[in-house]
Amino acid sequence: MEITATNPPPASTGQGSLRTLLREATQAQHERLNRHALLAGLPQPGYTLANYRLLLQTFYRLYRGLEQRLAEFAAGPVAGFDYAARAKLPWLEADLRHFGIDPAGLESAAAPVSVPAISGLGDYVGVLYVIEGSTLGGQMIAKCLRQHLGLTPSGGARFYSGYGEAGASMWRGYLAFAESVAADAEQAGAARLAANRTFALFEFELDRAILYGPLDGRGSHG
């Protein structure tokens, strides 16, 4: 879930840019998540389709809950950012269908992921930091999926293909929006806490996936 990007330095506050604050606050969780059994081998030749299907199912459940919360918050006025145009759930649905997995079946196979409500702009920015950073990092993984598993944007790797060539500009767009709330110390603190909660949620659900296996009942994931 690589979040680092190369782009012009964002606007700063007395405490530094919000991007820097979020990166430093989540670094340990981010590094631990990158070492998770379902993610660490993803760019490597030995990564299995069984693991990949399990990962897609887990992400589908996560993003279903996260995007519902984002949509609930964005039903009110959120100036400067339109997440609806960036929704990831349709990408995951396309990948699941490529493997013959019905997303509707996954919805009835397990309880929804418990995602905290987004109660303010800081929460919104913090959750998006994890989601949009993950999308940016997916570009490299998409190349590995094509090389090692023969997957393409239209054939099983739509989620990791992200915004394609627009990836860097979409990330900069998020950063510009995030920095617009950086001067408010309360909102910046809320963003930090929300980003940490979101990383923890990813780790918890990936651990649960390893423990209980695929929801569609296909094979092992060893």
pLDDT per position as a tens digit, 141-157 = 999 999 999 999 999 99
pLDDT per position as a tens digit, 87-126 = 999 999 999 999 999 998 887 666 778 999 999 999 999 9
Residue 15 region, left (φ>0) first, then alpha (ψ -120 to 50), else beta?
alpha
Q: How many CA atoms lie within 13 A of 101 on its CB side?
A: 26
Mean pLDDT on 156-183: 94
Is 9:18 a contact under the CB 8 Å cutoff?
no
Picking from 51, 32, 4, 23, the residue whose alpha carbon sits closest to that of residue 204 is 32
**In the prediction, which pLDDT does 154 show?**
96
**In the prediction, which pLDDT does 182 show?**
84
- Distance, in Å, from the CA atom of 159 to the CA atom of 93, rounded to the nearest integer, reads 9
Separation of CA 118 from chain center: 16
**In the prediction, which pLDDT does 101 show?**
94
Q: How many CA atoms lie within 13 A of 80 on its CB side?
A: 13
Mean pLDDT of the chain: 87
**In the prediction, which pLDDT does 37 show?**
92
In a domain, 6, yes or no: no
In a domain, 54, yes or no: yes
**In the prediction, which pLDDT does 98 show?**
97
In a domain, 13, yes or no: no
- Distance, in Å, from the CA atom of 139 to the CA atom of 165, rounded to the nearest integer, reads 9
Residues 197, 203, 208: CA angle, nearest 5 degrees: 125
**In the prediction, which pLDDT does 3 show?**
34
Q: Is the pLDDT of residue 13 over 80?
A: no
Residue 114, burial from CB neighbour count under 10 angstroms (0-12, 13-18, 19+): exposed
Picking from 169, 64, 177, 87, the residue whose alpha carbon sits closest to that of residue 129 is 177
pLDDT per position as a tens digit, 47-75 = 999 999 999 999 999 999 999 999 999 88
Q: Is the pLDDT of residue 213 over 80?
A: no
In a domain, 222, yes or no: no
**In the prediction, which pLDDT does 12 show?**
43
In a domain, 11, yes or no: no
Structural domain including 124 reads 18-212
- Distance, in Å, from the CA atom of 76 to the CA atom of 198, rounded to the nearest integer, reads 22
Report how many domains make up the chain. 1
Is 121:131 a contact under the CB 8 Å cutoff?
no
Q: Is the pLDDT of residue 8 over 60?
A: no
pLDDT band of 16, cuts 50, 70, 90: low
**In the prediction, which pLDDT does 200 show?**
96
Whichever domain contains 156, its CATH number is 1.20.910.10
pTM of the prediction?
0.88
**In the prediction, which pLDDT does 218 show?**
59
- Distance, in Å, from the CA atom of 119 to the CA atom of 69, rounded to the nearest integer, reads 10
